[in-house]
Amino acid sequence: MKVAIIGSTGTGKSTLFRILTGVEGGRQRGYTSGVGVAEIEEPRLYRIAELHNSKKITRPHVELYDFDGFGRLWKEEKAGEIQNQLPGFDALIHVVGGFPPHDPVSDFEEIDTRLILSDLAVTEKAIKRLEKEVKAHKVDRTVLDALRKIEAGLSEGKGVSDIELSETEKRAVRGFGFLTALPRVVVINVDEDRIGQHIPEIEQVMANRSMEYIYASLPVEEEIWQLLPEERPELLEAYGLEEPLPSRLFRAILKALDYITFFTAGEKEARAWLLKRGSTASQAAGKIHSDMEKGFIRAEVYHYDDLLKYGSEKALKEKGLARLEGRDYVVKDGDILFIRFSR
């Protein structure tokens, strides 16, 4: 999973990048000033590993990019070049400033408008081309009608993800790489003295958009993250925070992406995997290895909650709670899978 951190100059996006990756921004690579990897905390994984006597634990990871294209490197004449860097990402983290002299609504709308205008330019160009092709009976009207609907929504200031499209229309326009269709999580960076407070103006904007958002005081969060793990709870409590920023943020990202977590476990390794909600057992097998999906036979499935209740795989089998499922079984969050496949 690849995620770009975007934001206007001075909002704190590079601080967020350091917190999540432990990496200082390095040599400039195009419009990216830092690339790092963050592991997603999954508390259930440790208990699963304990109950399976697993020697190794592997958490899901995210590739993070500190993207400067909308900040200090933004140039109107380079807008197309800058925006063309984003379609390859799975999601965006958009940092806005909730402290003077920043206004979170202005920070959000500045970049949101750029993304909308980029999508609008793509849409208008495609409509002109498709109108000719439809008249010549080279293509059907499905894509064109969907694009006209998108054009109208973008012109009203909506993102593509906020425009009502049928599943057929969504599939028809998927290849256009619309930036406002990317799942986006907004991080509202506030001063230390505003921790726990709300900013109604930005929340009203978020209410009209299909985006997750969280509050954070990034200087405070960085101070917490620089401590040893055993020292963090005390400072979190002092600031009235229930958990550190990475846990809250990655949970919001997974929700925005509509991902669930499934597990594999044994003596060698316990591992957490990310999967699109609604995916099947054979698709989950493909996440582990392409050969498993090709040669899929059955999946042995039991759930984390049942494992926690009864304490062992053996006990689950005795209770009839470990079952065999076929390739079309829809995997649930918290499922533990053992894939049977032919080589």
Rounded CA-CA distance 249/228 in Å is: 20
Query: What local confidence, expressed as pLDDT, does residue 26 receive?
Result: 60
The DSSP string of 27-90 is S-BTTEEEEEEEEPP-HHHHHHHHHHT-SEEE--EEEEEEE-TTTTT--GGGHHHHHTTSTT-S
Those residues of the chain that have pLDDT short of 70 are 25-28
- Judge if 157 and 186 occupy the same domain: no
Query: What local confidence, expressed as pLDDT, does residue 115 receive?
Result: 96
Query: What local confidence, expressed as pLDDT, does residue 340 receive?
Result: 96
| Residue pair 66/33 in contact by the 8 Å Cβ criterion | yes
DSSP helix/strand/coil, 188: strand
- Judge if 8 and 98 occupy the same domain: yes
Query: What local confidence, expressed as pLDDT, does residue 195 receive?
Result: 95
- Judge if 98 and 192 occupy the same domain: yes
Domain boundary residue among 181, 214, 239? Answer: 181
- Per residue in 225-240, pLDDT (tens digit) is 999 989 999 999 999 9
- Judge if 69 and 163 occupy the same domain: no
Query: Residue 49 falls within a domain, yes or no?
Result: no
- Judge if 188 and 115 occupy the same domain: no
Query: What local confidence, expressed as pLDDT, does residue 251 receive?
Result: 94
Query: What local confidence, expressed as pLDDT, does residue 141 receive?
Result: 87
Query: Residue 67 falls within a domain, yes or no?
Result: yes
Query: What local confidence, expressed as pLDDT, does residue 25 receive?
Result: 64
Could you give the number of structural domains in the chain?
A: 3
- Judge if 9 and 148 occupy the same domain: no
Structure tokens at 87: 């379609």
- Judge if 20 and 97 occupy the same domain: yes
- Judge if 188 and 94 occupy the same domain: yes
Range of the domain at 9: 2-43+57-102+182-257
Query: What local confidence, expressed as pLDDT, does residue 72 receive?
Result: 82
Domain boundary residue among 257, 286, 316? Answer: 257
Query: What local confidence, expressed as pLDDT, does residue 229 receive?
Result: 87
Structure tokens at 59: 């958490």
Which residue reads 């009864």 in tokens?
A: 310
Query: What local confidence, expressed as pLDDT, does residue 333 receive?
Result: 97
- Judge if 97 and 186 occupy the same domain: yes
- Judge if 126 and 245 occupy the same domain: no
CATH number, domain with residue 318? 3.10.20.30
- Per residue in 91-105, pLDDT (tens digit) is 999 999 999 999 999
Query: Residue 262 falls within a domain, yes or no?
Result: no
- Judge if 71 and 155 occupy the same domain: no
Query: What local confidence, expressed as pLDDT, does residue 27 receive?
Result: 59
Domain boundary residue among 257, 291, 310? Answer: 257
Query: What local confidence, expressed as pLDDT, does residue 138 receive?
Result: 74
- Judge if 126 and 173 occupy the same domain: yes
Structure tokens at 249: 């943020």
Query: Residue 268 falls within a domain, yes or no?
Result: no
